[in-house]
Structure 1
Amino acid sequence: MNKLALVFLLIVVQGCAQKTYVVELEKLAKFPSKLKEVSGLEVTKDGKIWVIEDSGNKDKIYRVDKKGDIKESLKIDHAKNVDWEDLTMDTEGNLYIGDFGNNKNAREDLVIYKVTKDEMGKKEPNSDKIEFSYPQQTNFPPEKDSLYFDTEGFFHLNDYLYIFTKNRTRPYSGKTLMYRVPDKKGEYEAEFLGDLFLCGDQDHCSVTSADISPDGKTIALLSYGYIFLLTDFTAPDFTKASIEVIDLQTDTQIESVCFYDDKTLLVADEENKHGGRKLYQYRFR
């Protein structure tokens, strides 16, 4: 069997293992005009919702309610918003800001800012840097068929931050690369965990956000129009996970997902010509 045929067979087998469901998101609120580009959101144990915006916006995190109203804003000290793309939180209440947006795959200053639980109670919280690089990337930028190193999604699990890259390859391969780094201040070469084929549509299948359920049993990977729910995995190997595809039937620029509880997701989109700047909810089985 030649290489092209083998790749096609692997994609077909992976695709056959996926179940697709068509749903409609429940609209909760519209964000104020001040929050046009929400790129990440996270929920604390006591139900507080924090959001960030991406490149070109302030070095701030914002606490909002389910009506979309801003209740609090905190400027993060020792942190610069080059391209903040996702938020996550550990079980102790420490917040992590992913400054790893890399549209052109040319950045060499990728960093995750850690804001400890104690700092979160201050008016201008300090942050620690978790700096990292991808061992597979040797050119900045790489060739078009190797544009795997933009990143918009990650989550925390068992002392590690798990990273899912955003695929910009041409021709489009449909894969996300998976890595992890320790959740402690330092400089790291990210540990490569493998790749995962999601789907072959370059407009709808690249990861824009990620989260894991509080019980650790379900991973949600968001893309432009789809949610991929991963189950039946044992970390750090997600390559054999069962994948359920949720078609959201939307053309807005969906950028953020997080678990509100084990069976409820919050989703946010940026404002574009199709609408957006909204907070949504999706409950699944």
Structure 2
Amino acid sequence: MSCQNYGELKVVTVLPKLLDEVSGIQKEANSDKVWMVNDSGNKSELYKVTSEGKIEKTTSINAKNYDWEDLTSDDNGNLYVADFGNNDNKRKNLVILKIKKEDLLNGDNIEVEKIQFSYPNQTKFPPKKKDRFFDAESLIYKDGFLYIFTKSRVKNKQGKTMLYKVPATKGEYTAKYIAEYSNCNDLHCAVTAATTSPDKQKVVLLTHKSVLVFTNFNGDDFFSGDVKEYTFNHISQKEGITFKDDTTLYITDEADKKGSSKLYEFRLKD
């Protein structure tokens, strides 16, 4: 693993107050617009946002926002909402909501397909504090499957993430465990979002202080290849990430007590 201090996050815009708790973002295909969602305690709504930070469209979803944490899309433009935030590791209603492209284009109060799942290695709800590895805030799509990266709630092991997969079709599943990866071990090492590059050759995980870029992996064991860390020049509650283009990321953070949430650009350099 190599650490690259390239640093500068470029602020693109300050986001509206309605998006102070933005938790997931996904760039719309063939567009400069970005879909965004807020996390638990907020409305079941999707927001299409311009690069200037204007909410262009609000779409209601006919499903409760228990704890929406990430967004991803498939090759056909269908959108997936990760409703699997699980701070206390005791949820039994983990679900990914599939929203069809045509409904996104035309509808409101949209019906969803539910992809329900459980973790194969969780037997207690909640587990003991030393075993609370079943929160998650990160989701990507690849080749017909959805991949979940967990977020550790275990002290001194916050940088651990486990990778699971489920089919990207309606149903109830036991997720398949694939592998795990450990970053650094403090609070700001926890994985808070994920995305894939347009060519599917990079998988990127977000933390409060950096991005981890995985390449040259075998199949869907994204941790099997090379990893490079790009460290930011400041720490904030960063929770949303998507590729703007092949080499540039969009990143969002939640508002702190003194400010507003922001949309950033971050360029990956070789």
Fold shared per TM-score above 0.5: yes
Aligned partner of 2:20 in structure 1 is 36
Q: Which amino acid aligns with 1:147?
A: R
Aligned partner of 1:110 in structure 2 is 94
Give the whole-Å Cα distance in 2 for the aligned partners of 1:205 and 1:20.
16
1:82 aligns with 2:66: yes
Larger Rg: 1 or 2? Answer: 1
Residue deviations 1:226-276, cap 9 Å, x none?
111111112211232211111112232111101111111000000013644
Aligned partner of 1:237 in structure 2 is 221
CA contact (8 A) 2:22 2:36 kept: yes
RMSD: 1.2
Give the whole-Å Cα distance in 1 for the aligned partners of 2:6 and 2:87.
29
Return 5+ residue gaps in structure 1 as ranges: 1-16
The Cα of 1:198 is off from its aligned counterpart by 1.7
1:67 to 44, 52, 63: 52
Residue deviations 1:67-101, cap 9 Å, x none?
11100000012x11000000000010000000000
CA contact (8 A) 2:15 2:260 kept: no
Query: When the two structures are superposed, what TM-score results if normalisation uses the length of structure 2?
Result: 0.96
Aligned partner of 2:124 in structure 1 is 139
Give the whole-Å Cα distance in 2 for the aligned partners of 1:263 and 1:274.
31
Aligned partner of 1:159 in structure 2 is 144
CA contact (8 A) 2:192 2:205 kept: yes
Q: Which runs of 4+ in 1 moved over 6 A?
A: none
Give the whole-Å Cα distance in 1 for the aligned partners of 2:150 and 2:259.
26
Aligned partner of 2:112 in structure 1 is 127
Give the whole-Å Cα distance in 1 for the aligned partners of 2:164 and 2:124.
18
Return 5+ residue gaps in structure 2 as ranges: none
CA contact (8 A) 1:267 1:281 kept: yes
CA contact (8 A) 2:84 2:135 kept: yes
